[in-house]
Structure 1
Amino acid sequence: MQRDCVQCEHKKGKKKAHFHIGGHMVEKKGFYIMAHEGTHIQLKPQQVIRLPIKRMGINGEGVGFYQRQVVFVEGAIPGEHVLARVQEVKRQFVRASLLKIIKRSPARINPPCPVYDECGGCQLQHMSYEKQLVEKRELVKEAFSRYTRIRNLPLEETVGMNAPWAYRNKAQLPLQKVGDRVAMGMYSAQSHRLVEIGDCGVQHEQVNKVLELARRELESLGVPIYHEKKHKGAIRHLVARVGFTTGELQVVVVSRTSDFPQQQAFISRLITQFPAITSVVLNVNPIKTSRIFGTESRVLWGKEKIEEKLGDLTFRLSALSFFQLNPQQTVQLYRQVERVANLQGAETVIDAYCGAGTIGLWLAASAERVIGMDTTKEAIVDANENAQHNGITNVEYHVGAAEKLIPKWMKAGLQPDVIVVDPPRTGLGEPLRTALVQSPIPRLIYVSCNPSTLAKDCAELVRAGYRVKQVIPVDLFPQTAHVEAVCLLEAGR
């Protein structure tokens, strides 16, 4: 029997069932609770809450606010109202699992991948592609709103793909022995549980086919599969990369041992059944580590490198070469860089964090001089080889950190007209930010894979006098929460 409430003098029968937390009245509605406006309740694990989803988080989760607490709900879409069960309570945020959708977004679709909920490789297959592009733009907008004071951010629409499937040119998949079978797939998010992915929708069709063939032949031949805990067995990963424009295909077998049983039989079966293969490489990784590749590689059959084209440029790719995973959309990314660079033919361009030299080589025809640098020696070897292979002579590449070389060169008198930076997710190193502040560059083009670090770095540069002129989100990885951005900054107020 409901009794009168002695705390707030609500009479029985006059008010819905309720209780008090910290002096605030809370109504009980079924098996979840709703606090009155202004109430602040410390949520607890297993508690069920109702909340509207306001935006998308950096990892693709829905983000809601429950009594001033940030709540991340995986699988929820902005605009939806959901019931969620609290799983984890941290000081600054709460994680909750989706129980029920009360108000459904019109952008919600059925994920086409049968293991979407288990795999974790994609985060947005439950969302229409048009909505994905909108929310990725919002990610960039939210980051700038949080970290900068820029009003009227010149943010363009997200550059998307016409066909946002089968775009990845490379897959690297771990193997496990399960009974008499060889299992191949991806580790589920935040776990070490292997999920067999089969015909992956974001991978190029040839990559899916050749990896399945290789897995099947390893199983048929009884080749020993690596056992992680015992550090025994041979084959750890299978890797495949295809050239979208050339059709060339490379298979890399990552083994704990320098050779493996039935090696020649495996190669013979592979190349006989899959004539598109142009290169088979063995990479040896003998160390007990979570890293995929070891330092030693050798060609078992065919060519050492395969070729791929970006626009009019041809790139030769070895087994360990870094190359963008979505070559079709990489062309769109570089076209945006070229557009905002607006080169007239007389400029000196620095290509920082240059990798295999792709951005600098793309811009070289419109510049007088291009200088690139990277900390990886092998990348610089590839960059020089790519320049020579394409007949480009106005470029030079150096081994070293951009944070050290650029300040050093600028102190020695180098005055670049344009600097293109494409840093890791952590953003620009402090010495490079300092150099850019002390010696302002007429045009600074920041290619970012992390909206938060982009916005943080821009905030410092804007305080030093730079102006953000254009920000262009580019969807390099459809069906995932990842978004790239091209940002043009100019010196002077």
Structure 2
Amino acid sequence: MAKHRAINTFKPAKKAPAKVPSQLLDLQIESLADDGRGVARYNNKVVFVGGALPGEHVKAKISRSHKRFDEAELVEINTQSPDRVTPICAIYDQCGGCQLQHLDYQAQLNYKLARLSKLIDGGESPVFSPAIIQASATRYRHRARLAYANGELGFKAKSSHSIVGVEQCPLLEDAINTALAKSRDSLARYFGHKASGEVVFSADRDGRVGIRIQKDGFVDVKRSEQLAQNIAAPAFLHSVVGTKGPSWRGAGASLSYQVTDSLTLRYQPGDFTQVNTAINRQTIAQCIAWLAPEADELIADYFCGLGNFSLALAQSGVQVMGFDAGAGMIECANQQALEKSLPATYFCADLFDPDAITIPVGCRKVVLDPPRAGAKTLCEQLAACQAINCIVYISCGPASLARDLAILKQAGFKVDDAAMADMFPHTHHVESAVFLRR
């Protein structure tokens, strides 16, 4: 017999919103938060001030009040930091893509390095200072994801779903900026004023740019074919994917990016690749130097994607086994290993499922490059496997890295070396590479 539950129709009164002080506050900025905002204190409460820098005395207005902290808008700078610079982008104040353009680039590096050092030290006396992997601070992105809505193509605004129109971006490779300029009108006609979606630009080492559209609703095949004809070479329309119905796909031309001096990887627009190829190459070189691969060794690569790290490792003659959940990328990685006659084999596996994780017999060294969520389940299994004695952990999420390092340290691993890789200059994002030994 079905059980019936009494329904409580009592509705508690809505909590009144916290009162936001209307007066300007005089604040002394003490430091930068992890999201790049200035940190101050007022009436024993932390206040986050966007656009403010350490050492500055500012006037700010509370925009949101919370129980433990407040958020404030910068109104006036009374005492300016010597590290303050003029942003390189005209729409920096509106666009949500960057958070640190007002901070001198060397100071940006120092800020990110300090965050990584604190994370690794865990409150203990520092044993070493992580290295800095850096390249150009502009024109570094070989991939860009722009949004389209209400007749506007651009990036999301700060703390908003609104779109800031972008003509050119100083962080994009020249080939993407050129493709954006030449295709903007054609894309606007294709979407119109009612449709919405995303447009992904992906460039390769030869200057070609693949354009992939992710569109809300159905895909009009004839209009997609017309758009493909209107895209000026060397850019091309790769595909149009809709949330409903079938998709449109072009000739399937692939792109490529440089991994080492003698190795390039093929990829399709929409595949995951590191946005900064110069930093990626240096990080791969550092990974190989740490692992010191020897002939006939077996190295496992988790969250391997297209084989970004493992195919480079296989070039040195070691056997590599790669694991990732992306079936399409695993298939592509196996094809490229076969084409290049490299000793690497790839397998599809959900690395967040403990029953799906495999640690190959005879494997002593591991590289892992998880998403921002980290690799808690995998690290627990690596910690329990006594055969594993060397790990290179590539991280794009400081919080998850701290959690996973604690798991590995409890199992006897120690951080032997580390590097802060500035994959995203002018943003608060910290990419890092950590070498652990047991």
TM-score by length of structure 2 reads 0.87
Cα distance in 1 for partners of 2:246, 2:56 equals: 48
In the TM superposition, what are the counterparts of 1:62-77 in structure 2 within 5 Å?
A: 62-66=38-42, 68-77=44-53
Aligned equivalent of 1:319: 269
Task: Describe the SS at the equivalent of 1:252.
Answer: strand
Which residue identity is paired with 2:173? Answer: H
Contact 1:57 1:139 in 2 (8 A): no
Find the counterpart in structure 1 of residue 229 from structure 2: 268
What does residue 119 of structure 1 align with? Answer: 95
1:309 aligned residue:
258
Change (3 A) 1:487 1:92: farther
Match status 1:384 vs 2:334? yes
Give the aligned partner of residue 148 of structure 2: 175
2:344 to 378, 395, 401: 395
The C-alpha deviation readout for 1:410-430, integer Å capped at 9, x for no partner, is: 4xx724221111111121133
Match of 2:242 in 1: 285
Instruction: Please give the alpha-carbon distance, in whole angstroms, between the structure 2 residues aligned to 1:304 and 1:89.
Output: 51
**2:315 aligned with 1:369:** no
Separation (CA, whole Å) in 1 of partners of 2:240 and 2:291: 39
- Alpha carbons of 1:433 and 1:303: their partners in 2 closer, same or farther (altered >3 Å)? closer
Contiguous gaps of at least 5 residues in structure 2? 1-17
Of 202, 212, 216, which aligns to 1:241? 202
Match of 1:87 among 60, 63, 74: 63
1:478 deviates by 0.8
Match for residue 194 of structure 1?
163
Bigger-Rg structure (1/2) = 1
Q: In structure 2, the residue corresponding to 1:447 is in which secondary structure?
A: strand
Task: Kindly report which structure 2 residues correspond to 1:125-136, keeping only aligned pairs within 5 A, or say none.
Answer: 125-136=101-112
* Alignment-mate amino acid for residue 298 of structure 1: R
Question: 1:99/1:447 Cα in 2 relative to 1: closer, same or farther (>3 Å)?
Answer: same
CA distance in 2, matches of 1:175, 1:261: 20
Which residue number in structure 2 is paired with residue 34 of structure 1? none
Partner of 1:490: 437
What letter is aligned with 1:237? E
Query: Which of the numbers 90, 97, 100 marks the counterpart of 2:73?
Result: 97
One-letter code of the match for 1:55?
A: S
> Does the Cα contact within 8 Å between 1:314 and 1:390 map onto a contact in 2?
no
Going from structure 1 to structure 2, the CA distance change for 1:385 and 1:295 (only over 3 Å counts) comes to farther
CA contact (8 A) 2:263 2:312 kept: yes
Letter in 2 for 1:333: T
What is the alpha-carbon distance in structure 2 between the residues aligned to residue 443 and residue 176 of structure 1?
48
CA 1:404–1:153 in 2, change beyond 3 Å: closer, same or farther? farther
Specify the code of the residue in structure 2 equivalent to 1:345: A
2:211 to 246, 251, 270: 251
- C-alpha distance in 2 between matches for 1:408 and 1:318: 27
Q: Could you say if the C-alpha distance between residues 464 and 400 of structure 1 is closer, same or farther in structure 2, counting changes exceeding 3 Å?
A: same
CA shift digits 1:60-114 (9 cap, x unpaired): 1122344553322111112323232222232333222212223211110111211
Question: Residues 69 and 93 of structure 1 are in contact (CA less than 8 Å); yes or no, is this contact kept in structure 2?
Answer: yes
Helix, strand or coil at the partner of 2:210: strand
Inter-partner Cα distance in structure 2 for 1:92 and 1:389: 57
Q: Which amino acid aligns with 2:428?
A: A
Q: 1:416 to 1:155 in 2, by over 3 A?
A: farther
Equivalent residue letter for 1:434: E
Q: 1:260: how far off?
A: 5.1
CA distance in 2: counterparts of 1:367 and 1:262, whole angstroms: 49
- Which residue number corresponds to residue 182 of structure 2? 213
Paired residues of 2:132 and 2:420 also in contact (CA < 8 A): yes
- Unpaired runs of 5+ in structure 1? 1-41, 228-232, 288-293
Q: Which amino acid aligns with 2:218?
A: T
State whether residues 213 and 239 of structure 2, in contact with CA within 8 Å, keep that contact through their aligned partners in structure 1. yes
1:38 corresponds in structure 2 to none
Report if the CA contact (8 A) 2:32-2:39 is conserved.
yes
Compared CA separation, residues 409 and 487, structure 1 to 2 (3 A): same
- Return closer, same or farther for 1:265/1:159 CA change in 2, 3 Å cut-off: same
What displacement does 1:151 show? Answer: 2.6
| Whole-angstrom distance in 1 between the partners of 2:187 and 2:339 | 36
Q: Secondary structure at the match of 1:72?
A: strand
Aligned mates of 2:408, 2:149 — CA distance in 1: 48
Q: Which secondary structure does the structure 2 equivalent of 1:158 belong to?
A: strand
- How many residues of Structure 1 are paired with residues of Structure 2 in the alignment? 418
* SS of alignment partner, residue 87 of structure 1: strand
CA distance in 1, matches of 2:317, 2:33: 39
Alpha-carbon displacement from aligned partner over 1:455-483 (angstroms, at most 9, x marks no partner): 22212322222111112101001111111
The 1:108/1:262 distance shift into structure 2, 3 A limit, reads same
Aligned partner of 2:14 in structure 1 is none
Q: What CA RMSD, in Å, does the superposition of the two structures yield over aligned residues? A: 2.6
Amino acid at match of 1:160: Q
